Amino acid sequence: MYSKKALLFVAVVLSMVSIANAIDVFPDPNLWPDFNSDNIVNFVDFATFANHWQQSGSGLDGDFDNSGAVDANDLATFSYLWLNGPGPVNVFESFKTALAIADCNEALTFVAGISRDKYAEIFRIIEPHLTDYASGMGGLIFERQRNGEVIYEMLHQDGGQTLLFPVFFIREEDGNWRLFNF
């Protein structure tokens, strides 16, 4: 028979799934509950999360809000990230990785369909310099978000000067975030 704790956990999961599907925002863009680092959030990661369920302490896998406990708020975050796939920051990092190895086709999978042809042409022109281009792309700073669209500022070091460039993401019809303009 199932314990009360297990049944409560299942009820909370089902509630959080409905909440996660109803919103079009994402938690802290640096969160990604891929606890085993296989680049996908799945039941293996959920098992890690579940092992820490209702535990308290510091540094627990799954304590996304740093409250010192793995609780319903963390489950909502986990559910959202699991159901909605990688957020814009993860998409951008995968995009940069593809450019760094001069894999234009892979990089273009992270670009929105409406912008793909434009960037395919740009990459064709700068192909000999793609790795240099990728190495100049710094981290992202969150700027703002609207329904289905998010804007970051990308850091770029040029000598002693730090420059910021806007990077636009859109959520496409398949539910995935992709680069729209950068």
Domain borders along the chain are 4-84, 88-181
Laid out side by side, the sheet with 177-181 consists of 140-146, 149-158, 161-171, 177-181
- CB contact set of 165 (below 8 Å; sequence gap of 6+): 153, 154, 156, 182
Residues of the chain with pLDDT under 50: 20-25, 29
Residue 166 confidence (pLDDT): 96
User: Residue 41 and residue 128: Cα distance in Å, rounded?
Assistant: 34
User: Residue 43 and residue 174: Cα distance in Å, rounded?
Assistant: 22
**Mind listing the pLDDT tens digit for each residue in 138-152?**
988 888 888 788 899
What residue has token string 């070091």? Answer: 157
Task: Say which CATH class 88-181 falls into.
Answer: alpha beta
Model pTM?
Answer: 0.63
